A and B are shown apart, each in its own frame.
Chain A
Amino acid sequence: MTEALWPQLLSSALVGTGRRPCRPLSVPGPLATVLGEAPAELEPPGLLSATAALTVARRAGAMPVRVPVPDPAPQETGEVAPHKASVRLGLLLLDAGSDHRQRRSLLREWLELAQQRNFLAAPRHLSALVDAATADPTLRPAVIAVGGLRLGWLAAQGPGRWAWIEQPGPSVPDIDEWHTGRTAARVRYLESLRANDPAQGAALLAQVWQQERAADLAALIGACAEGLGAEDEVWLERALDDKRVQIREAAVQLLAAIPGSAYLARMADRALACCQVTGSGQLTVTPPAQFDAAMRRDALTQKSPQGWGERAWWLVQVVSAAPLRCWSALDSDPARLLDYQIGDDWAGVLREGWLRATVAQRDEAWALRLCRLPVVRGAHLTELAAILPAGTLAELAGEALRQQTDRIADLLSAAPPPWPPALADVVIAWLDRSAAIDDPGWWHLLNVIERSLHPAAVSAVNEILARCGEGRYREILERLALTLQTRYDMHQEFA
């Protein structure tokens, strides 16, 4: 009954009683005590009094609404992490303090430990974990693994909110998706078809070739990396005649992965044509003088990016695409070429080409040789070191530590934790000797060490600490010991 009065009051108040006087048609019983029986017109104070009475009546007389009760989450089958480990996770998830990076790396380790031991995160931590993984996609697989059934249920409560949690589509996409689906779904379909029957997949792609847009076609060609074989070379070579550069680029990606392909032979010829051994341990470099149609067909680009000369850019593309094996034409141990005397200004360009080729082809011999070059540093060094087997890397890091160069951190970042005992021993022995270090690179190195050294090494670090005098180095060691202790405790809490 009061509901009929409210709109009249509001509409008068909105435009003003001066312009739209409020003349309520009827006043409900209880309100008559406030307003009097059926007043002809409400002046502003009367209007406000009536509104106040209605407002209190609405608040005090509010009725519950009816909404569906959410479906309960499925019974969890996995086991939640031990209590102490859960408490630790809660602390790590707090958005606390300035040591953001360290906390993130501890969180990552916690998730790995839980995953290895088949433990789940406690449900009360899931929303914070989901937030962390939404911000940092690299955490997602681990969060999905420790999220249990509750995580999928949670995602279903907020449809579309966390697409990354929702399970990927059916494992075998059906043909409808090929005809009407988005590019990603079509790529998935083609991949699954290629995995079973590469020829049929190639045939299917050939059918649609003419009508596809360049970007889609490039993605579909990429899908044919699945089930790739020598018999694909024919249609891939044909693709190189396409006018669209995206298509040619997608095709050479696959051709480079077919051993003995004509494309690789062409690249090898081009590369070797640029280099000539002109004496013992001497190399003369002549980059391509012209950019020809054949180079364009093989998806090399003519226009150089900023900072590159044209010819240097052509050279680096040619060398990085050529198979490293081809260099045995110049030296029986081709990686030795890195030590050759190279005239002019081309030495750096050539090395850059070799470096890219080594990373792309994951060649251990070349990687080791490149890692030993003092000029190779930074992200390049880490990329190369990641190609090396753990033992070799430990050896290399040992050499670097003995030389006290600033390349240590770049090398060590490539060594996946936990470090093998040999590497850990080298690092600890080095910590013991390095009493006084005043090097800005130290903090980077410390970050790598505290993240990757096995936490049991804390006792060794404490021993060093006991012998260490006051000063800056002691502070560094204390911080390291504390982090290792935290990690050690964290491992114990899962026991």
Chain B
Amino acid sequence: MRTLSGGSGNVPRMSEPTRWTADQVLAVAPDQSSLASARKLAGSADWSSVGVAQQAPVLWGLCKGSGKSPYQTCVDLTEPAYRCSCPSRKFPCKHALALLLKWSAGAVPVDEPPAWVEEWLESRSARAAKKAEKVAAPRTEAQELAAQKRAQSRHDKVLSGVAELQQWLSDQVRNGIAGLESGGYRHFEPVAARLIDAQAPGLAGAVRRLATIPSSGAGWEERTLAEMSMLHLLAGAADRLDTLPPDLAATVRSRLGHPVTTEQVLAGAAVRDVWQVIGTRDLTEDRLVARRVYLIGRDTGREALVLSFAAPGQVLSADLVVGTCLEADLCFYPGSFSLRALVASRHGAPELMVEPEGSTSVAAALDRLSRALGADPWLMSLPLLIDGVIAPGERWHLVDPSGDALPLEPGVECWRFVAAAGGAVSKIAVEWGPAGLVPLTMFRDGEVLAA
């Protein structure tokens, strides 16, 4: 770690915020075409009065557009947040990206922020304060009662859906699952739809995922039976929710799909640490793109997952940049093993991270995994940070210096990591899943490589 002093105290404010690498700028681009435009724009002579503040981590510049007056472009590096007076609806727009690229290349001088930048910063902090106020306001007694009543009637509905799911699962096993391969999605859809009606979207989603397994190639029978059994386990747990320890009950509720409000999460205890952003992965599910950003606490060693969603055409949040770390309070969703979290508050700007701390051997990572599964048997993903080498082959592996190896997910290859490492041990962030590992990021020689 280059820029942070030890301990979890205040991060010393640098005279100029640490510059991002070009790769990190690329990571926040909403799409490839904005990136291409930004790349051109960064080299053009259309820019004037660009600067980076000494006191606050903020960049700005004026960029000549097609109109009369130039666009005012400004980036607050803490979140990061972007503002530009151009009409683009992309976020960040090509001007903000170009400004970041310029800065990353060292072409932005330190300067005093002009008045329009100051104004924007002030209006932002005013808005943030208002939001915090709203969150802090407690619910009234009547509101609390109504909420409890709603939860109870919802739970009754869920239980009726759960009972039907249990019956359906038993029927499959009684009649044999061999025919599912040719049955297609249609066989699963009625029960998934029924679970939606029963307000158990988590279970419905699990049934729809199950529907994809019979067509997933060799070994589908084992995988299908395994996932059916995990659903059975979940249904059983839902049935006797009241008898479970509170944390496990919370895990079961979240797997069923009970909503947890942001307020409820933020009301929990915060974990303050220097959070290292070690990897990200975008997945499309139900026509919605979900971005998973994985963090590992430098001091606590705790894993965290920050999720964000976007409908097609919308831009995903890019406020956590791989290869940076930020001192922040994270609030975790309730559960017996809580991975998903929200950033409650930030302390200072993100810093560039040369190499994340807390990488382990394969054996230690498996140890970590088994403890997590012990707490949450339904766990489907967990970030691991392992010192090792990616080994190509019929089936690819991540192998550590002792020769211990874990298989990658079938069909996953990562020549980029192989070429860059040249067989040398590197810190590799992966996402564990029941089918195998998916490489996310490689940290090597001060470089951050996305898979």
A contact set with B: CB distance below 8 Å? 9-10, 12-19, 43-45, 47-49, 51-52, 54-56, 59-73, 84, 87, 90-91, 94-99, 103, 123-124, 126-128, 130, 150, 153-154, 157-158, 482, 485-486, 489
With A and B bound together, what is the CA distance between A60 and B372 in angstroms? 8
Report if B124 contacts A (CB, 8 A): no
Q: Which residues of B contact A97 (CB under 8 A)?
A: 32-33, 35-37
Distance between A428 CB and nearest chain B CB, rounded to angstroms? 19
Known: A18-B174, A44-B174, A124-B447. A98 touches B36 (CB 8 A): yes
Q: Which residues of A contact B171 (CB under 8 A)?
A: 44
With A and B bound together, what is the CA distance between A485 and B41 in angstroms? 11
Q: Are B423 and A47 in contact (CB under 8 A)?
A: no
Could you give 23 example pairs across A and B, Cβ below 8 Å? Answer: A10-B222, A18-B175, A48-B232, A49-B229, A49-B236, A59-B434, A63-B366, A64-B406, A65-B397, A65-B406, A70-B418, A73-B424, A84-B105, A87-B105, A90-B23, A123-B421, A127-B419, A127-B420, A154-B418, A154-B419, A482-B40, A482-B43, A485-B44
Known: A51-B225, A91-B22. A130 touches B232 (CB 8 A): no
With A and B bound together, what is the CA distance between A44 and B229 in angstroms? 10
Q: Which residues of A contact B311 (CB under 8 A)?
A: none
Report if B230 contacts A (CB, 8 A): yes
When A and B form their complex, what is the total count of cross-chain residue pairs whose Cβ atoms lie within 8 Å?
Answer: 186
Interface residues of chain A: helix, strand, loop or mixed (majority): helix
With A and B bound together, what is the CA distance between A16 and B173 in angstroms? 5
| B392-421, CB < 8 A from A | 392-393, 397, 399, 401, 403-407, 415-416, 418-421
B contact set with A: CB distance below 8 Å? 22-23, 26, 32-33, 35-37, 39-40, 43-45, 105, 166, 169-171, 173-178, 221-222, 225-226, 228-230, 232-233, 236, 362-363, 366, 369-370, 373-374, 377, 389, 391-393, 397, 399, 401, 403-407, 415-416, 418-424, 434, 447, 449
Distance between A43 CB and nearest chain B CB, rounded to angstroms? 8
Q: Are B403 and A67 in contact (CB under 8 A)?
A: yes
Q: Which residues of A contact B377 (CB under 8 A)?
A: 52, 56, 60
Among B36, B393, B416, find the residue whose CB has the most chain A CB atoms closer than 10 A.
Answer: B36
Among B225, B233, B369, B416, find the residue whose CB has the most chain A CB atoms closer than 10 A.
Answer: B225
Q: Which residues of B contact A17 (CB under 8 A)?
A: 173-174
Q: Which residues of A contact B174 (CB under 8 A)?
A: 16-18, 44
Q: Are A485 and B43 in contact (CB under 8 A)?
A: yes
The closest CB in chain B to the CB of A43 belongs to: B170
With A and B bound together, what is the CA distance between A14 and B177 in angstroms? 5
Q: Which residues of B contact A96 (CB under 8 A)?
A: 32-33, 35-36, 39
The closest CB in chain A to the CB of B444 belongs to: A124
Distance between B226 CB and nearest chain A CB, rounded to angstroms? 4
Q: Are A67 and B423 in contact (CB under 8 A)?
A: no
Distance between B362 CB and nearest chain A CB, rounded to angstroms? 5
Q: Which residues of A contact B221 (CB under 8 A)?
A: 10, 14
